[in-house]
């Protein structure tokens, strides 16, 4: 199709974990729309043009292949894409600020603002600007002011369309979203933008799942959704500590409470703690906003979700050291899994980074294994003064090891031959199951000393 025959031209700035998959899905579902994804990272864009995509996400390559070069294009020509687009999604990263006012909590909006100023500079026609990035409430308002302060007579209508996909299930989440949220102004132009954005998703999403709100509600809903999800994990993790002291089993407790339909069974898996690029960042952002409005109790309430997560990771490492006779110095410890969750190669804010660093501080010898995340693991631990081995094959990784710590819930780890693993390890052999995915009783029978999360350990030492 030539440029003229496409019904609409959509652009997306930022070809990361969100921009890439969301735009691939839109392009695959909307053959009548031209979708161009741009990024300043040349390496990333080059990889999007191959079958070796820059991110690992089940099912992504099939969707990309369906649309690539048909109506889905990847490019480093950011200005060209801005100029051409009628609807421009912005999906750049919004990390936590590391300097000045709000350091450690507030969102660092420099990338977003830089993008907004660039949009003004190069645009020659009216556009709908869609925030896909997760931003603090009222950012759209600030952006609209920057964008509409132009002297070219161009109108930019800023809308918020936060993304709720989870990594590892991104394509499924995009194909069957619980909801698509579109926040716009209630003005004539705002409502027209709302319709245009809804029309994209209506290609494959049931209209009842496309919900609308004002811009601020949409922005806040994104932060609150992540805060609630993380809160559930911190809540069950807090109970896991109590279970370990009292011989209750956190899995049984989670199952019992989850059967109550008001509570529901999801997001109640006790773990070493949540990771990922967004939970901590988004909650801290919420905390910062609350503090700004003088709502200190509200801020402390949400901050405790992050504190509990850090406590859980700390507790896990402490338990490892204590269980292994209060020293791990020069002991070989295999970390099974380094990604922040299964089915992704992403290690951003992975609890494995914390666990690895703490064990290295204790002079443990680490062997890190993961089916998809070893490159990112290497980068995350670069500069460590102590040697670290990286081994994709778990059986090779465990040779002579004193302990295994399961840090990512990869399905394959359930199916390993633990007798073979036990035979290859130094005795006494330990398993610390940070994800509660293994058969603890069976491991104990094989001879392991087993330490799950949220249930008393099974030790051969009395
Ligand atoms: P990412 O770091 O993977 O991707 C962001 C991309 O933007 C990078 O490739 C970067 O090079 C590019 N970029 C930055 N500034 C640019 C500029 N001026 N011009 C062109 N490209 C630029 O980040 P991500 O994980 O995709 O997250 C993006 C946003 O989406 C964040 O706000 C995040 O909170 C939110 N979000 C992420 C997820 C997730 O699962 N990762 C889910 C929902 C929402
Ligand atoms: C999360 C949200 O689920 C998405 O809706 C949201 O769009 C996204 O953040 C975002 O804004 O970035 P994601 O971080 O990709 O998605 O993955 P989750 O499945 O939410 O898992 C987050 C962390 O919590 C992982 O480390 C996971 O292992 C952990 N987790 C999850 C638990 O420890 N227990 C659980 O029961 C569930």
Contact between residue 108 and residue 135 where contact means Cβ atoms under 8 Å apart? no
Torsion, CA 75, CA 77, CA 78, CA 83, rounded to 10: -110
- Verify whether residue 278 is a known catalytic residue: yes
Q: Is pLDDT of 2 > 70? A: no
| 301 Cα to the center of ligand 1, angstroms | 28
Other C-beta atoms lying within 10 Å of the C-beta of residue 453: 27
- CA-closest residue to ligand 1 atom 14: 92
Query: Given this model, what pLDDT does residue 439 score?
Result: 97
Beta bridge pairs of residue 276? none
Closest CA to 367 of 383, 378, 379: 378
Q: Which residues form the pocket of ligand 1, taking CB atoms under 6 Å from any ligand atom?
A: 13-19, 39-41, 44, 78, 91-94, 111, 114-115, 133-134, 163, 165, 167, 277-278
Distance separating alpha carbons of residues 58 and 134, to the nearest angstrom: 23
Q: Is pLDDT of 403 > 90? A: yes
| 159 Cα to the center of ligand 2, angstroms | 25
Around 393, how many Cα atoms within 13 Å sit in the side-chain half-sphere?
3
The verdict on the CB of residue 337 being under 6 Å from ligand 2 is no
Which ligand neighbours the alpha carbon of 13 most closely? 1
The verdict on the CB of residue 181 being under 6 Å from ligand 2 is no
Give the ligand 1 atom nearest the CA of 94. Answer: 32
| 329 Cα to the center of ligand 1, angstroms | 39
CA distances from 356 to 254, 278, 331 (A): 28, 21, 13
The pLDDT of 195-218, averaged and rounded, is 97
Query: Given this model, what pLDDT does residue 140 score?
Result: 87
Distance separating alpha carbons of residues 281 and 223, to the nearest angstrom: 9
Which ligand neighbours the alpha carbon of 408 most closely? 2
Distance separating alpha carbons of residues 301 and 360, to the nearest angstrom: 33
Instruction: Look up residue 210 and give its DSSP letter.
Output: E
Give the ligand 1 atom nearest the CA of 135. Answer: 32
Query: Given this model, what pLDDT does residue 310 score?
Result: 98
Query: Given this model, what pLDDT does residue 95 score?
Result: 85
Residues with Cβ within 8 Å of 430's Cβ and at least 6 positions away in sequence, in order, are 320, 323, 324, 402, 403, 404, 448, 449, 450, 451
Beta bridge pairs of residue 128? 87, 157
Query: Given this model, what pLDDT does residue 109 score?
Result: 86
Beta bridge pairs of residue 36? 11, 73
Distance separating alpha carbons of residues 297 and 303, to the nearest angstrom: 10
pTM, entire model? 0.96
Closest CA to 316 of 241, 425, 426: 241
- CA-closest residue to ligand 2 atom 18: 166
Q: What is the 3-state secondary structure (H, E, C) of 149-197?
A: CCCCCCCEEEEECCCCCCCCCHHHHHHCCCCEEEECCCCHHHHHHHHHH
Distance separating alpha carbons of residues 16 and 210, to the nearest angstrom: 24
| 14 Cα to the center of ligand 1, angstroms | 6
Distance separating alpha carbons of residues 438 and 416, to the nearest angstrom: 10
Q: Is pLDDT of 51 > 60? A: yes
Phi, psi (deg, nearest 5) at residue 432: -115, 110
The pLDDT of 89-102, averaged and rounded, is 90
| 92 Cα to the center of ligand 1, angstroms | 4
Convert the pLDDT of each residue in 148-174 to its tens digit: 998 899 999 999 999 999 999 999 999
114 or 256, which is more confident: 256
**E-only strand ranges, 39-112:** 72-75, 87-90
Question: For the chain, how big is the Rg over CA atoms in Å?
Answer: 24
Instruction: Look up residue 107 and give its DSSP letter.
Output: B
Quickly state the pLDDT bin for 412 (edges 50, 70, 90): very high
Residues with Cβ within 8 Å of 269's Cβ and at least 6 positions away in sequence, in order, are 233, 236, 254, 409, 435, 436
The verdict on the CB of residue 164 being under 6 Å from ligand 2 is yes
The pLDDT of 42-65, averaged and rounded, is 97
**E-only strand ranges, 259-387:** 332-336, 365-369
What spatial distance separates the first Cα and last Cα of the chain, rounded to whole Å?
74
Mean pLDDT for the chain overall: 96
Closest CA to 330 of 393, 264, 403, 271: 403
Q: Is pLDDT of 1 > 60? A: no
Q: Is pLDDT of 429 > 70? A: yes
Beta bridge pairs of residue 450? 431, 458
Distance of CA 165 to the CA centre of its chain: 9
Query: Given this model, what pLDDT does residue 136 score?
Result: 87
CA distances from 372 to 57, 277, 363, 399, 432 (A): 10, 17, 26, 21, 21
Contact between residue 194 and residue 230 where contact means Cβ atoms under 8 Å apart? no
Quickly state the pLDDT bin for 96 (edges 50, 70, 90): confident
Query: Given this model, what pLDDT does residue 334 score?
Result: 98
Q: Is pLDDT of 4 > 70? A: no
Distance separating alpha carbons of residues 459 and 165, to the nearest angstrom: 40
Closest CA to 168 of 439, 381, 411: 411
Looking up tokens 């494995």 gives 352
């Amino acid at each position: 199709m030539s440029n003229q025959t496409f019904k609409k031209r959509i652009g997306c700035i930022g070809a990361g974990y969100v921009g890439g998959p969301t735009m691939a899905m839109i392009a695959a579902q909307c053959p009548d729309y031209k979708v161009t994804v741009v990024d300043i990272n040349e390496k990333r864009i080059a990889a999007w043009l191959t079958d070796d995509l820059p991110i690992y996400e089940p099912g992504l390559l099939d969707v990309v292949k369906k649309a690539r070069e048909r109506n889905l294009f990847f490019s480093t020509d950011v200005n060209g894409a801005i100029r051409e687009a009628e609807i421009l999604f912005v999906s750049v990263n919004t990390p936590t600020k590391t300097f000045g006012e709000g350091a450690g909590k507030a969102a660092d909006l420099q990338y977003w603002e830089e993008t907004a100023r660039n949009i003004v500079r190069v645009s020659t026609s009216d556009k709908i600007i869609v925030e896909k990035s997760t931003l603090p409430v009222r950012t759209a308002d600030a952006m609209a002011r920057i964008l509409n302060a132009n002297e070219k007579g161009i109108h930019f209508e800023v809308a918020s369309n936060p993304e709720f996909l989870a990594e590892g299930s991104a394509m499924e989440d995009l194909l069957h979203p619980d909801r698509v949220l579109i926040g716009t102004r209630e003005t004539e132009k705002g409502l027209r933008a709302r319709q245009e954005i809804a029309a994209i998703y209506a290609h494959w999403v049931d209209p009842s799942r496309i919900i609308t709100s004002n811009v601020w509600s949409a922005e806040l809903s994104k932060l609150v959704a992540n805060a609630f999800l993380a809160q559930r994990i911190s809540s069950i993790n807090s109970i896991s500590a109590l279970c370990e002291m009292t011989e209750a089993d956190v899995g049984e407790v989670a199952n019992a409470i989850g059967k109550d339909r008001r509570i529901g069974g999801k997001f109640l898996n006790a773990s070493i703690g949540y990771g990922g690029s967004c939970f901590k960042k988004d909650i801290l952002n919420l905390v910062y906003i609350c503090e700004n409005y003088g709502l200190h109790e509200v801020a402390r309430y949400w901050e405790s979700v992050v504190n509990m997560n850090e406590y859980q990771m700390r507790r896990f490492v402490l338990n490892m050291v204590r269980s292994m006779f209060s020293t791990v110095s020069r002991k070989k410890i295999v970390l099974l899994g380094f990604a922040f969750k299964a089915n992704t190669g992403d290690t951003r804010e992975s609890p494995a980074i914390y666990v690895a660093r703490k064990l290295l501080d204790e002079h443990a010898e680490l062997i890190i294994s993961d089916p998809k995340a070893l490159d990112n693991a290497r980068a995350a631990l670069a500069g460590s003064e102590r040697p670290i081995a990286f081994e994709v094959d778990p059986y090779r990784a465990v040779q002579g090891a004193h302990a295994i710590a399961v840090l990512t819930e990869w399905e394959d780890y359930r199916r390993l031959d633990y007798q073979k693993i036990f035979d290859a390890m130094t005795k006494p052999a330990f398993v610390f199951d940070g994800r509660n995915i293994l058969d603890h009783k069976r491991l104990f029978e094989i001879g392991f000393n087993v330490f799950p999360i949220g249930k008393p350990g099974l030790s051969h030492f009395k």
